[in-house]
Amino acid sequence: MDQPISKAELEAILEKYRAFYTDGRPASYIPALGLADPSITGISICLNDGDEIHAGSFCFNFTIQSISKVLALICVLSDYGMDYVSQKVGLEPTREAFNSLLLLELDNGPALFNPLSNPGAMVVTSLLRGSSEDKLQQLLNLAEKLAGRSGVIWDEEVYRSEKLTGYRNKAAVNLLKEQGTIEGDPEEVLDLYFRQCSIKLNCKDLARIACVIGLDGVDPKTGERLFPREAARNIRTIMATYGMYNQSGSFALKIGLPSKSGVAGGIMSVVPKKMGIAVYNASVNKIGNSLVGLKILEHLSRELDLSIY
Helix axes 186-197, 156-165, angle to 10 degrees: 130
Tell which one of 57, 63, 100, 289 touches a copy of itself (CB under 8 A). 100
175 lies in the binding site for a copy of itself (CB under 8 A): yes
What is the CB neighbour count within 10 angstroms for residue 2?
Answer: 6
Tell which one of 64, 75, 238, 268 touches a copy of itself (CB under 8 A). 238
Give the residue from 34, 40, 38, 70 showing the smallest Cα distance to 58: 40
Least CB distance to a copy of itself at residue 82 (A): 7
78 lies in the binding site for a copy of itself (CB under 8 A): no
Taking the C-alpha atoms of residue 67 and residue 64, their distance in angstroms, rounded to an integer, is: 5
Least CB distance to a copy of itself at residue 8 (A): 29
Q: How far is CA 198 from the centre of its chain?
A: 12
What is the CB neighbour count within 10 angstroms for residue 287?
Answer: 17
Q: How far is CA 38 from the centre of its chain?
A: 19
Q: Which helix (H) or strand (E) holds 135?
A: helix 132-147
124 lies in the binding site for a copy of itself (CB under 8 A): no
List the interface residues with a copy of itself, window 6-65 (CB under 8 A). none
Taking the C-alpha atoms of residue 55 and residue 52, their distance in angstroms, rounded to an integer, is: 10
Q: Is 280 a catalytic residue?
A: no
Given the rule CB under 8 A, which of 127-135, 153-161, 232-240, 274-282 is the region that contacts a copy of itself?
Answer: 232-240
Which residues are known catalytic residues? 66, 69, 193, 245, 263
> Would you tell me which residues interact with a copy of itself (CB under 8 A)?
82, 86, 90-95, 100-106, 108, 114, 167-168, 170-172, 174-175, 177-178, 186, 233-234, 236-238, 240-242, 246-250, 252-253, 256, 258, 272, 307-309
